[in-house]
Structure 1
Amino acid sequence: MLRIVCSVLLMLIATASYAEGEEAAAPVSSARYIHLEPAFVVNYGSSGRMKYLRTEVSLKVSSGEAAAMVTQHKPYIRNNLVLLMSAQEPETMNSSKGRESLRKVCLDEVRAVMTQLEGMPSVDDLYFSNFVVQN
């Protein structure tokens, strides 16, 4: 009986160590995320009552070099995103299709800034972590 228990334990240990070896062989992603802090708080809309947006923005880059370049230019990127977000209309902010459109426009703006300053877009994607509007 002891021999059977020992055999089962050895098989479990062998299986566990094999599974760990497979996990270690998985490719490691070099993607990095740069969080533009503090959160963006802007007023938007051209008429009527004042409307507010609060959102957190993260940028995805694929290398340490790209992360360093983007980090160096954070103030310029933030400035352009504030101007872009504050120029939006309520119809854009209040629909999921509009928010996705805004996300793409913001990504294009960040890529344009980085291309202008560094000669390459450097940013793979842009994400809104939070998106709260007050009408």
Structure 2
Amino acid sequence: MKGETDMASEEKAEQTEEAGEKANPSTLKIIIISVLLTVIIGGGLVAGTYYFVSNMNPPQAAAGTGGDETGDGEEGEELADSKPSAPPQYFSLDPKFVISFRNQRNARFMQFSIEVMTRNKDVIANLEKHMPVIRSSLLMLFGNQEYEEMVTRQGKEKLLKDVVTEINTVLKKVTGDDDPESSVEAAYFTSFVIQ
């Protein structure tokens, strides 16, 4: 009997080893498939999140937060209307401007170039057509500047705002068009030297 018991236990041990060998490949397959599915799903979530975040329009996303969304759509129309309708176009007011400052002790000069920005190509044509009037008006504006103001950032920024206002005033006078889209939006220094 003892021999039979030993044989039975040996058979059971062999079956257990075979079952273990058979279980290992199937367990290994399950682990590999689980890991692959986790990686694929995780990658899909990351890619999907990146796609949607990168394609969001920041002004609309910011405007849509913190308000009630039961409106009749008028706000969305206003946002669409406030978007620039065309890409910016730049026009250089050449040649450079040279201004002398009145000072009792020292002669002071300022030399600079300005470019203006608009989104309407007709404004560029009007700038070219009426350049003598625009330059004359700007020279009058520049002649009233003080050296102490022009050495500060605030003074330069104010001058650029005044340039935009002056050009738009001249354009309105010579063209008779007071439509905001037929105006200059901004002015920029492209070179600036003061001494």
The answer, yes or no, to whether TM exceeds 0.5 is yes
Q: Decide whether aligned partners of structure 1 residues 86 and 60 sit closer, same or farther in structure 2, where only a CA change above 3 A counts.
A: same
Distance in 2 (CA, whole Å) between partners of 1:120 and 1:56 is: 27
SS for the counterpart of 2:105 is coil
How far apart are 1:132 and its partner, in Å? 1.0
Higher-RCO chain (CA-CA 8 Å, sequence separation at least 6): 1
Which residues in structure 2 correspond to 1:108-123 (within 5 Å)? Answer: 108-120=165-177, 122-123=183-184
Question: Partner amino acid for 2:125?
Answer: A
Distance in 2 (CA, whole Å) between partners of 1:79 and 1:48 is: 28
Question: Partner amino acid for 1:93?
Answer: M
2:192 aligns with one of 127, 131, 135: 131
TM-score, normalising length from structure 2? 0.51
Distance in 2 (CA, whole Å) between partners of 1:62 and 1:52 is: 33
SS for the counterpart of 1:105 is helix
Question: Partner amino acid for 2:135?
Answer: R
SS for the counterpart of 2:191 is strand
Q: Which portions of structure 1, spanning 4 or more consecutive aligned residues, are displaced by more than 4 angstroms?
A: none
Q: Give deviations 1:2-29, integer Å, cap 9, x for gaps.
A: xxxxxxxxxxxxxxxxxxxxxxxxxx95
Question: Partner amino acid for 1:89?
Answer: E
Q: Percent identity?
A: 28
In 1, are the aligned partners of 2:116 and 2:184 still within 8 Å (CA)?
yes
In 2, are the aligned partners of 1:45 and 1:88 still within 8 Å (CA)?
no
Distance in 2 (CA, whole Å) between partners of 1:46 and 1:120 is: 40
Q: Give the equivalent residue in structure 1 for 2:153.
A: 96
Show structure 1 runs of 5+ residues with no match. 1-27
After alignment, is 115-124 or 93-102 more displaced?
115-124
Q: Give the equivalent residue in structure 1 for 2:113.
A: 56
Q: Give the equivalent residue in structure 1 for 2:74.
A: none
Distance in 2 (CA, whole Å) between partners of 1:106 and 1:74 is: 14
Question: Partner amino acid for 2:186?
Answer: D
Distance in 2 (CA, whole Å) between partners of 1:117 and 1:81 is: 15
Question: Partner amino acid for 1:132?
Answer: V
How far apart are 1:128 and its partner, in Å? 1.0
Higher helix share: 2
Show structure 2 runs of 5+ residues with no match. 1-84
SS for the counterpart of 1:30 is coil
Task: Please identify the structure whose Cα radius of gyration is greater.
Answer: 2
TM-score, normalising length from structure 1? 0.72
